[in-house]
Amino acid sequence: MGKYFVTPTSLKTHCGRFQASFALQRTKQNSSYCRIFRFDKTFASTEAAKIYAVTQGWLHTSMQPSMS
């Protein structure tokens, strides 16, 4: 997603549903940035959770100010 690397994932909860999360990474020159986002919302499938995570990642990166 441009300057960022977004890794969506899902985790199966104790009730059998799936929780979404994503890792956001960026490396620029001698610095790096990594942040994990986890969501409370649960989904019926791992695919739905990953779609939600990648969408949230896209929204987060598209709203970042330019760090050129």
Per-10-residue mean pLDDT of the chain, 68 residues long, equals 82 96 86 90 96 93 66
Q: Which pTM value belongs to this model?
A: 0.79
Domain count for the chain: 1
Q: Per the domain annotation, does 10 fall within a domain?
A: yes
The whole-angstrom separation of Cα 45 and Cα 6 is: 20
pLDDT at 41: 95
Q: Per the domain annotation, does 68 fall within a domain?
A: no
Q: Per the domain annotation, does 15 fall within a domain?
A: yes
Q: Per the domain annotation, does 42 fall within a domain?
A: yes
Token pair, residue 61, equals: 């990166």
pLDDT at 1: 45
Q: Per the domain annotation, does 67 fall within a domain?
A: no
